Structure 1
């Protein structure tokens, strides 16, 4: 247990944003483990942070969330007031020179989600003592019974369903998923279930069009869950994913050194998963995900077919998923977070 006062800063709180979900999950788990937590999305109004009496202010950072001058002023104020500062990095770009300089010179500590990210920052000259790893947690959902969900969605018992979930981004390659399902149509009575939220910027619209063209030209049966401008509760999404036979994540590497919340939610839905074998998924244990080295739709289709046909493999994957979700639950991550934060405050 802990009596630490922790301010979590996330400018996207209350929006359709994975980092906001991460921050809210962490805050709930920290509170459950005895910390006093202040959630704020405002780095310009410093008064409420001072009144709270924070031991540490942890800023959840992604490059689009904060204007650099505002972040610089905020970190300077924390330093002048004697409040320890940490920044949790949810991605990285060497091209963002000005922002990176502020983070690396003004924050007392930098928190990253995986070892690969930590190595990259140390390579840049950051002290190993400054950069620490606290992994992203796995949500624990109350899943609806699979047969009930399939009945509600009017999915026949003999239908194989491949699910894809996440923001509609070009690098998530929903079109590759559609092509993989196309190759399986002759062998299986199969549908592609899609639950995606689109931010509707230019490249996202182009990715949607490419996906739509593949679906139309190949006659793929698509089960679309909710409109793409509607953000559904994760608990509901998890039950829908749980009703699938396989989940597919044919991502392309972005070299942002971040970690995937979408694949964690898939694992927490306890369904066999096929994913690209890329560094982005390095912090996901192999046993609960079938990783495909090439990332091509032909090999994705072959992996899906193997899972369909191999009951023992399916059972082993789901067993591994349950173990991983338990080990890296948000409660356990919060305890690790409190140990790290306590150590930081002692040594600052």
Structure 2
């Protein structure tokens, strides 16, 4: 099949949706499909990419409809997959209307939307219910919908969205086969060798609970636990500058808690150095405010690197997650419970080893080959429908 992937962000611009699109495109290509990506002009060229990238969009507004229509009609895809996350499109609503508009150019070509989350766009002041309506309109106007997690699946099924598939995301950072051990990784990155290190991966966004982790780490240090915290990755996503205020609040809190000498920040680094950082830490703490979910690329990366993961109780049951076996779960927004979980993992080598083994086994379910095969099945299922 000739498959066109549309995304609001794409490497070398940092962002989880862009990284996901790149990995999915490569996996689909490896399965024998002809794949290309359409995105905007930010970030420049992805040098050496085996997947063609058409940077035809100036801004994600109504003008993007015409630019996409002309380019896609010339390319003649057998299917179109729109990666949707409101922030990646500047919180505007133009792409929420795009599948309905695209019929002018694409006719019977199946259009599928992957919802990376169900957060609503801003649209305009006092848009109110229109924001929620725009997301549902996007889902209903597509030929098929993919969600990445159990919670979003339940939400869309409850409002009658069909046909609907749940296809998980994979890790955007693939660990190399020769990843060194913790001590060597710390030496290469100039991390301390004299204390346990807790890792946190991802942009600073209120939903990820970095401020909760700061409180937990500070409490453990006050107890006399020699501890360091490593923030792996960039601080703020270029596609969502609204995160700046939260990041600033976290930095102020670091000073207020006296944690300046206990925190290391890698910043945006190549994937090889991100993997080194994962290898260097003793565990990963990901205290999401809205509960752990398979839509979180940060979780997938920690699992892929075989880290012991502490996260928060999901909003809806996730059968694949087994508390104490492949993840350790605590209530959201509870620094005390988080501190206790961190202490228990650091003091109990058997628990840590069990969580690491469970994480590696769970990560096998999110291999890109398997994800690409499921996306392929979605388009195969839609062919006779059209």
User: Larger deviation: 324-333 or 195-204?
Assistant: 195-204
Aligned partner of 1:84 in structure 2 is: 110
Aligned partner of 1:212 in structure 2 is: 251
C-alpha distance after superposition, 1:213-257 (max 9, x if no partner): 332233323333334xxx3223321220221011111221189x8
Contact persistence 2:85–2:116 (CA under 8 A)? yes
Residues in 2 aligned to 1:282 and 1:106: alpha-carbon distance in whole angstroms: 29
Contact persistence 1:253–1:280 (CA under 8 A)? no
User: Larger deviation: 217-226 or 270-279?
Assistant: 217-226
Distance apart, 1:69 and its partner CA? 4.0
Q: In the superposition, relative to structure 1, how do residues 154 and 258 fare at CA in structure 2: closer, same or farther (>3 Å)?
A: closer
- Partner secondary structure for residue 64 of structure 1: helix
User: Larger deviation: 178-187 or 107-116?
Assistant: 178-187
2:149 counterpart (114, 126, 131): 114
Distance apart, 1:101 and its partner CA? 4.5
Matched, 1:171 2:211: no
Residues in 1 aligned to 2:201 and 2:95: alpha-carbon distance in whole angstroms: 34
Distance apart, 1:211 and its partner CA? 2.4
- CA RMSD for the aligned pairs? 2.6
Matched, 1:10 2:7: yes
- Partner secondary structure for residue 3 of structure 2: strand
Residues in 1 aligned to 2:384 and 2:229: alpha-carbon distance in whole angstroms: 52
Residues in 1 aligned to 2:171 and 2:95: alpha-carbon distance in whole angstroms: 32
Residues in 2 aligned to 1:175 and 1:68: alpha-carbon distance in whole angstroms: 31
Residues in 1 aligned to 2:112 and 2:277: alpha-carbon distance in whole angstroms: 37
Distance apart, 1:294 and its partner CA? 4.9
Aligned partner of 1:345 in structure 2 is: 383
Contact persistence 2:2–2:35 (CA under 8 A)? yes
Matched, 1:224 2:264: yes
Residues in 1 aligned to 2:98 and 2:113: alpha-carbon distance in whole angstroms: 14
Aligned partner of 1:132 in structure 2 is: 165
User: Larger deviation: 233-242 or 243-252?
Assistant: 233-242
Matches within 5 A, 1:197-346: 197-199=235-237, 204-220=243-259, 221-227=261-267, 231-253=268-290, 259-279=295-315, 282=318, 285-286=321-322, 287-346=325-384
Residues in 1 aligned to 2:22 and 2:265: alpha-carbon distance in whole angstroms: 24
Aligned partner of 2:97 in structure 1 is: 72
Q: How many residue pairs were aligned?
A: 339
Aligned partner of 1:62 in structure 2 is: 85
Residues in 1 aligned to 2:284 and 2:94: alpha-carbon distance in whole angstroms: 42
Residues in 1 aligned to 2:319 and 2:14: alpha-carbon distance in whole angstroms: 24
Contact persistence 1:160–1:188 (CA under 8 A)? no
Contact persistence 2:15–2:237 (CA under 8 A)? no
Contact persistence 1:104–1:126 (CA under 8 A)? yes
Aligned partner of 1:44 in structure 2 is: 66
Q: In the superposition, relative to structure 1, how do residues 331 and 70 fare at CA in structure 2: closer, same or farther (>3 Å)?
A: closer
Distance apart, 1:183 and its partner CA? 1.9
TM-score under structure 1 length normalisation: 0.88
1:162 counterpart (198, 201, 205): 198
